[in-house]
Amino acid sequence: MTAEPGDPTGQPTAAGRGAPAPAGGPDPASRGAAPGPRLSVIVITRNEAANIAECLASAAFADEWIVVDSGSADDTVALAQAHGARVVQTADWPGFGPQKQRALELATGDWVLSIDADERVTPELAAEIRAALADPAADAYEMPRLSSYCGRFMRHGGWWPDRVLRLFRRGRARFSDHAVHERVIADGAVRRLRQPLIHYSYRDLESVLDKVNRYSTAGAQTLAARGRRGGLGAAIGHGLWAFLRTYLLRRGFLDGRHGFMLAVSNAEVTYYRYVKRMLMDEAREPAPPPR
């Protein structure tokens, strides 16, 4: 396993996972502890009871926490509120981009940090963020993201350094309207931070299969919205290319068997995206008369 920052053994540290905050929310002493612009943290959730407490605790240095929840059936909402977050629940699901834009529009800080429930801000990254906000040199900041796949932190296959733009001045950035693979569109100078955001993206094979299904469905809907068609040939061709790109061109093989597994799951998402798009068209066609 690839070592996280500050851990020479290669095992995830408690700080990397986000040490649990005291009951009742992030440490009050962390609020406004240092002079400077207010920072809002925004998170979107659905059934994230296993993640939200550690996620918010890792961002305890912020001044405001906004959680937009889309119908969780577990304890996500209660846990977020217990950690000091303002929680807003929505009845619909417009996709990742529009939902994160909703969260952004609720923030009141001068700066916004957007993180996912399965991500953690390490103490090193928190210190770098505080330093950047104390003397801003840009309107937005990218940071590398270190992601795990079934227990292994991946350094190849296109997963590292995987720079993501997550910290930005409010009013100078917005989210794209993509249903999946949304991104922040910044208006102004962008700089890079050095410390990584930790991402527990796929904790086990069950979560891999769940995301393969959900992401391929959303991808098929995106293809339909763009007027693109599916097809078995397209599914096979794009799926094969996704595997080769991940495993060979992006050197996923250097991550061992986990690199192979990742390449296969990337290929599956792509394959099923085009197959589902094909079946969407077939479902609209009238059935042939029985013989």
Res 285: pLDDT: 75
Peptide bond preceding 161 in cis form (omega within 30 of 0): yes
Supply the DSSP symbol for 30: G
Give the C-alpha separation, 220 to 217, whole Å.
5
Res 35: pLDDT: 53
Residue linked to tokens 């900041």: 141
- Is the pLDDT at 78 greater than 70? The verdict is yes
* Nearest Cα to Cα of residue 224 among 283, 159, 290, 145: 283
Whether 72 contacts 45, CB under 8 Å: yes
pLDDT in tens, 104-119: 999 999 999 999 999 9
* Domain definitions of the chain by residue range: 14-202, 205-284
* Nearest Cα to Cα of residue 68 among 118, 107, 31: 107
- Is the pLDDT at 156 greater than 60? The verdict is yes
Residue 98 exposed, middle or buried by CB count within 10 Å (0-12, 13-18, 19+): middle
Beta-sheet strand order (sheet of 119-121):
119-121, 197-202, 145-149, 152-153
pLDDT in tens, 189-215: 999 999 999 999 999 999 999 999 999
* Nearest Cα to Cα of residue 203 among 117, 143, 276, 82: 117
pTM (2 decimals)? 0.82
Local confidence band at 179 (pLDDT 50, 70, 90 cut-offs): confident
Res 21: pLDDT: 37
pLDDT in tens, 227-259: 999 999 999 999 999 999 999 999 999 999 999
Q: 11-20, 60-69, 106-115: lowest mean pLDDT where?
A: 11-20
Selected residue with higher pLDDT from 23 and 108: 108
Superfamily of domain 14-202: Spore Coat Polysaccharide Biosynthesis Protein SpsA; Chain A (3.90.550.10)
Give the C-alpha separation, 208 to 201, whole Å.
9
Local confidence band at 2 (pLDDT 50, 70, 90 cut-offs): very low
Res 111: pLDDT: 98
Crossing angle for the helix pair 232-244 and 256-284, to the nearest 10 degrees: 160
- DSSP SS3 for 178: coil
Give the C-alpha separation, 150 to 261, whole Å.
9
Local confidence band at 28 (pLDDT 50, 70, 90 cut-offs): very low
